[in-house]
Structure 1
Amino acid sequence: MILPDATLGVLGGGQLGRMFTLAAHAMGYRVAVLDPDPHSPAGMLADQHIAADYRDHAALQMLGDECAAVTTEFENVPAESLDFLARHCPVRPGAEAVRIAQDRIAEKSFVRDHDLATAPFVAVYEAGDIEQGFSELEPPMLLKTARLGYDGKGQMEVNTLDEALAAFGQFGNPPCVLEERVELAAEVSVILARGLDGETAVYPVGENHHVGGILDTTLVPARIRQETADEAVDMAARLADGLGYCGVMAVEFFITAQGALLINEIAPRPHNSGHYTLDASLTSQFEQQVRCLCGLPPGDSLLLSPVVMVNLLGDLWADRAPRWERLFRQPQAKLHLYGKRHARPGRKMGHFNVLAPDLDQAIGIAERIRAEL
């Protein structure tokens, strides 16, 4: 076990790294952040900020020498950098799990190879694969870049072969996934923490609502059948076991109009849909990340209250700061801002959680706050 007063490292200085840093400090650890942005949200709070590229071996060596163990706050850090760091200190989650999650082809193939369901898809490496896909799949479809797609980026709806070929060219002809667009009844996610010995703590299933491809709200507990929730938890745990995972992981699911449960994406890190755990759970997902990184057993994932999490995007700032006093008038609301210097449309600047005795009441309060902001 790595105990308090040790230094923990995190690759990435965004809001997830910032909340990891806050959790680690509360537990008595020091934190070193490696991020190229000199003004990164996590770097501003960390005990040490190494402002360097993620492929900079000298910087990685410095981080590995300084830290008792290292984690990552986003999946697009080069897996080779994690391999390099692992020669100097424990890295959790490991490079192979991150390598799979950062490539949609590898990710969906891994899910399918473990007898778990995804939307029907075809891997695309060249134009001929798109033609093959249109002989196997039914439109409408989505063409998604295999790498670097998030928050609705790197994907396009295509209904004809010509549209798909044009989208492939517009993306620059990178490896892609051609996927049937399924009719959705709901989108949900499971957040879990898995320790070194395989002990796993799973949070209640969250119900997610997106606007423009970006997560807008998460409702917990999800308004779905208990049998579906149990199946989602089981599928997520099977994935974590298959990966030999250590850390916090999120699994996003589609629930089809016919009630089928399909795995959409894996996130090898804390997840936006788990931000409610900061206020509504006995152990936050960020404390879990610290615990798993340090070889400690996962904390209790007990839900203390129904909760609604609402994302705050840069669009809200417009020509002035939001009227936070209106949020603070609601005693059941908890505001979390990420310390980002510039608000831009679509940029995640913060979130708020609303806790209430029942979910409908929490939804009502959250909607009022949003309207007043």
Structure 2
Amino acid sequence: MAPGAALGVLGGGQLGRMFVHAAQQMGYATVVLDPDAASPAGAVAHRHIRADYLDPAGLDELAGMAAAVTTEFENVPAAALERLARARPVAPGAAAVAVCQDRLAEKAALQRAGVACAPHAAIASAEQLARVDPALLPGILKTARLGYDGKGQVRVESAAQLAAAWESLGRSACVLERRLDLAAEISVLVTRGADGAVVHFPVQRNVHRDGILAVTRVPADGVDTALQADAIAAATRLAAALDYVGVLCVEFFVLADGSLVANEMAPRPHNSGHYSIDACDVSQFDLQVRALAGAPLVEPRLHSPCVMLNLLGDLWLQGGVAAEPDWAGVLALPGVHLHLYGKAEARAGRKMGHLTVTAADAGGADATARRAAALLGLAGW
């Protein structure tokens, strides 16, 4: 579909906001469906439908206005995508999104695609809890559904701690993963078109704190190039196996022994790919628009080494006192690109924005990013 058509997005958060910006830049009209009247994406879209994700009238209005629809988060109800797909192209499709909503289905999909993942076991009953292999301990117990940014996860050392953790998670369906000895965390973003064409971004090296992404560096320093190629190939196989259309992120662990295992995947643009807006000639959101509209996909080119810092609500709340961060000091640094998401209230752990530092070389980007982090009171890496 040519520019001038309307593209729809389910979800009004920052990912939807950046999708809307990319779509509008390319000449598309935009429609956002989100129940929050103050949603960041709704504030910048041509039309904001304020409705629940399962509201039939809201979904029908979206289908009537948009030529095609995508989603900005994986926990949108599959039924909403299925209803929209009866009237309009939806990418990614409900089946692929549903896989990413359930950790057990996700691991099964990884294994079918020949992608290694951590040793694990399902725990949805007292019987399954009693049969857990002791070799999976120490481990991490994760809710099978609706977990993100470290939520719904408990570290466990023993069988007794495992039983207590399962109780604390409401005896819900969970996955126990063996805790692995990590050397690095990386992620890969691929974009697949309806015609099966696939392009990918460079591998990103990530640092997480309390389960939330804190720092992304590109190129992925210290990660073997052959291993990076393996990660890209694995993500590409997975996208094909899911018959996926759109932007897909796969997070991997590089283990101390040099092997690679997949951690999880996201059926959408990803926090670790936000740097692409400033450091690549085509961003992940540009490619999300192209995949949805059926436009040609082009291989992204990293034109500037970079470091991205996540900006959480804690920055505005340091020392228990609400205060504006030192933006003037940060913006005085060379190569700094500030992105704030238009969220009215800063809360601890809430993603309020990101900062990307670009430079002529990786060392320069890292040095400036460390200066920015110090000005903002962020921990180093």
TM bucket (normalised to shorter chain) is over 0.9
Could you tell me which residue of structure 2 aligns to residue 265 of structure 1?
264
Superposition deviation, residue 192 in structure 1: 1.0
- Which of 138, 153, 156 is equivalent to 1:155? 153
- Which of 353, 356, 359 is equivalent to 1:353? 356
Distance 1:354 1:368 in 2: 10
Distance 1:225 1:250 in 2: 20
Distance 2:18 2:130 in 1: 45
Letter in 2 for 1:204: P
Could you tell me which residue of structure 2 aligns to residue 106 of structure 1?
105
Superposition deviation, residue 139 in structure 1: 1.4
Superposition deviation, residue 124 in structure 1: 1.4
Could you tell me which residue of structure 2 aligns to residue 305 of structure 1?
304
Distance 2:301 2:280 in 1: 6
Deviates more, 1:296-305 or 1:7-16: 296-305
Question: What is the identity percentage for the equivalent residue pairs of Structure 1 and Structure 2?
Answer: 52
Superposition deviation, residue 348 in structure 1: 0.5
Distance 1:101 1:55 in 2: 19
Letter in 1 for 2:295: L
Distance 2:35 2:170 in 1: 26
Q: Is the Cα–Cα contact under 8 Å of residues 19 and 286 in structure 2 kept in the other structure? A: yes
Letter in 2 for 1:365: T
Could you tell me which residue of structure 2 aligns to residue 72 of structure 1?
71
Superposition deviation, residue 300 in structure 1: 3.0
Distance 2:162 2:250 in 1: 27
Q: TM-score, normalised by structure 2?
A: 0.96
Distance 1:100 1:148 in 2: 12
Superposition deviation, residue 162 in structure 1: 1.6
Q: Is the Cα–Cα contact under 8 Å of residues 140 and 154 in structure 2 kept in the other structure? A: yes
Is it true that 1:194 corresponds to 2:183 in the alignment? Answer: no
Could you tell me which residue of structure 2 aligns to residue 145 of structure 1?
143
Count of matched residue pairs? 371
SS class of match (2:360): coil
Letter in 1 for 2:333: Q
Q: Is the Cα–Cα contact under 8 Å of residues 69 and 294 in structure 1 kept in the other structure? A: yes
Distance 2:113 2:275 in 1: 30
SS class of match (2:30): strand
Superposition deviation, residue 95 in structure 1: 0.4
State how 1:1-373 maps to structure 2 within 5 Å.
Answer: 2-135=1-134, 137-223=135-221, 224-318=223-317, 319-373=322-376
Distance 1:321 1:13 in 2: 24
SS class of match (1:133): coil
Distance 2:324 2:357 in 1: 21
SS class of match (1:317): helix
Q: Is the Cα–Cα contact under 8 Å of residues 134 and 161 in structure 1 kept in the other structure? A: no
Gaps of 5+ in 1: none
Distance 2:112 2:23 in 1: 36
Letter in 2 for 1:199: A
Letter in 2 for 1:171: L
Distance 2:324 2:145 in 1: 34
Q: Is the Cα–Cα contact under 8 Å of residues 119 and 136 in structure 2 kept in the other structure? A: no
Superposition deviation, residue 16 in structure 1: 0.1
Distance 1:211 1:360 in 2: 23
Letter in 2 for 1:92: A
SS class of match (1:343): coil
Runs of 4+ in 1 over 3 A off after TM superposition: none
Q: Is the Cα–Cα contact under 8 Å of residues 282 and 302 in structure 1 kept in the other structure? A: yes
Letter in 2 for 1:75: E
Q: Is the Cα–Cα contact under 8 Å of residues 193 and 288 in structure 1 kept in the other structure? A: yes
Q: Is the Cα–Cα contact under 8 Å of residues 202 and 218 in structure 2 kept in the other structure? A: yes
Letter in 2 for 1:134: D
Superposition deviation, residue 140 in structure 1: 0.9
Distance 2:258 2:126 in 1: 33
Q: Is the Cα–Cα contact under 8 Å of residues 123 and 173 in structure 2 kept in the other structure? A: yes
CA RMSD of aligned residues (A): 0.9
Letter in 2 for 1:213: G
SS class of match (1:191): strand
Letter in 2 for 1:109: A
Superposition deviation, residue 109 in structure 1: 1.1
Superposition deviation, residue 130 in structure 1: 2.0
Distance 2:43 2:159 in 1: 48
SS class of match (1:353): strand
Gaps of 5+ in 2: 377-381
Superposition deviation, residue 131 in structure 1: 2.1
Superposition deviation, residue 22 in structure 1: 0.4
SS class of match (1:93): coil
Q: TM-score, normalised by structure 1?
A: 0.98
Letter in 2 for 1:139: L
Distance 1:168 1:298 in 2: 44
Letter in 2 for 1:166: A
Deviates more, 1:17-26 or 1:166-175: 166-175
The one-character-per-residue Cα deviations of 1:117-142 (angstroms, maximum 9, x if unpaired) are: 0000011111221222234x331111
